[in-house]
Amino acid sequence: MEQYFIRGGKPLRGVVDICGAKNAALALIPAAILTDEPVIISNLPDVSDINLLLDAIAQIGATVERIDRHTARIIGATVNSYSLNYEYISKIRASYYLLGALLGRFHKAEVAMPGGCVIGARPIDQHIKGFEALGASIDLEDGQIKAQADELKGTHIYFDVVSVGATINVLLAAAMADGITIIENPAKEPHVVDLANMLNSMGARIRGAGTDVIRISGVQKLHSTEYTVIPDQIEAGTFLMAGAATRGDVTVNNVIPKHLESITAKLEDIGCEIVEYDEAVRVIADGCILKNTHVKTLPYPGFPTDMQPQMAVVLTLAEGMSTVKESIFENRFKYAGELARMGAKIKIESNTAMITGVRKLKGAQVESPDLRAGAALTIAGLAAEGCTQVSGIQFIQRGYENFEDKLRRIGADICKIDTDDEAAMDDYRQRCS
Ligand code: EPZ
């Protein structure tokens, strides 16, 4: 089994090129089958979630051509099934966006019920509320979600909960509905706006994405487009946090600084210097004494829940008492025990991490419980004294392209070793003894 092996304590210094946003790409790929014409999507991150979703749309018959590792050409004309089999939803939750896309295009869809995951129950009642408001009938039987509609009619939807997934699924279903759909209390994440922009480039008429009210005027048909995925705000934020935790100097390139504002504001709060360029952001933390702060995760433009573990790791090294309140998911602190084994002083009380800063973390063997916590534990290993072994890195590879290579290029002593490779393991043990 492959694991990360890290010798910590080295400040990270340099420039990291940021990939396309995983959570935007996961919405754009299903949108491509809303038309019969070819759709080219570029700047796709080469990560397992994206590759799995491309396999999923190929499984229902779409023609998928990988022009290169970051570009795909998709033709929805050959879609020949409205039912996605279980293996995909069990591996990639976001394949439930095919519900909205197949419903929007063919007025029928069948996708396996997505289960919960380590960070929470992840219900989809708001998705179903949106589909039913558009006129679809939804049957939940045998672990399947079966949706069908004689026609989809524009409607007025008020989401009870701000939901990225539900907003995206309704945008996909409503783009070609008959009439006007108003969505109130939508998610405003950059990846929601990216989907609206791509659909508009295909001939849709969507206004207000990124605001409190989205207005969709249904159109008869959508056409081909060539579209570039926005930069990944979470990948960028993760590398900025790595720069802060290691007291280094890291610049993330190919980003939209505005998307990072809640993250850079917190880094300035704790004493880091932030420099913004047109398409890059730099964190300077050389010799910085990190100060405590208080964070609450919120829907965009608030502090992203996908940055919560990474922020918590930095705060374990900040002077004084910090708090991190997780207001989006009910169980997103599974990494806290692993951090405590590295010497962090962290306690969880009613979905809030109470953190007392320590001078140094100590290297340890740790297990990634999920994607973002895995990235956070890797940052902890980079900042810690001594050696850290991170297992469960398959979670990290779901959302970070060449994570360890990018870290190595800015000075990290990190490598990916298969634990069956005795020679490599011996070499690592010697370097760590
Ligand atoms: C998306 O998940 C992201 N995934 C998550 O990123 C991210 O953490 C989350 O949005 C919040 O920003 C993708 O984009 C593929 P939600 P999603 O619907 O859409 C509740 C990562 O690490 N809710 O916005 O599933 C839900 O329980 C992943 O990249 C309902 O109650 O999140 C949660 O408490 C992890 N009913 C809150 O809303 C619903 O019908 C926000 O969930 C839907 C959601």
- Condensed to tens digits (0 to 9), the pLDDT of residues 369-424 reads 999 999 999 999 999 999 999 999 999 999 999 999 999 999 999 999 998 999 98
pLDDT above 90: residue 279: yes
- Each residue of 31-47: pLDDT tens digit? 999 999 999 999 999 99
Least confident of 97-101, 121-125, 149-153, 351-355: 121-125
CA of 122 to the centre of ligand 1 (A): 7
Residue among 23, 47, 118 whose CB has most ligand 1 atoms within 8 A, to mutate: 23
Q: What are the tens digits of pLDDT across the range 341-350? A: 999 999 999 9
- Our answer on whether the CB atom of 164 is closer than 6 Å to any ligand 1 atom is yes
Q: Which two tokens stand for residue 84?
A: 């996605």
Distances (CA, A) of 162 to 115, 194, 237, 371: 19, 17, 22, 22
Residue with the smallest CA separation from ligand 1 atom 9 is 164
> Where is pLDDT greater, at 239 or 431?
239
Asked whether residue 194 carries a pLDDT value surpassing 90, the answer given is yes
pLDDT of 119 reads: 87
Binned at pLDDT 50, 70 and 90, residue 433 comes out as confident
Percentage of the chain modeled with pLDDT above 70: 100
Residue 115 C-alpha to ligand 1 middle, in angstroms? 13
Q: Which member of 117, 272, 415, 432 is catalytic?
A: 117
Angle at 192 between CA 225 and CA 218, to 5 degrees: 60
Average pLDDT on 95-103 reads 96
Q: Summarize the confidence of residues 145-152 as an average pLDDT.
A: 96
Res 313 pLDDT > 80 = yes
Q: What is the pLDDT, as a whole number, of residue 139?
A: 95
Cβ of 94 less than 6 Å from ligand 1: yes
Centre of ligand 1 to C-alpha 334, Å, is 17
User: Does the beta carbon of 124 lie inside 6 Å of ligand 1?
Assistant: yes
Across the chain, what does the average pLDDT equal? 96
Determine whether 415 is an active site residue.
no
Query: What integer pLDDT is reported at residue 325 of this predicted model?
Result: 98
> How is residue 64 written in tokens?
């998928």
The predicted structure's pLDDT at residue 121? 82
Separation of CA 384 and ligand 1 centre (Å) = 31
For residues 340-359, average pLDDT: 97
* pLDDT of the residue at 430: 85
CA proximity to 159, closest of 124, 194, 116: 124
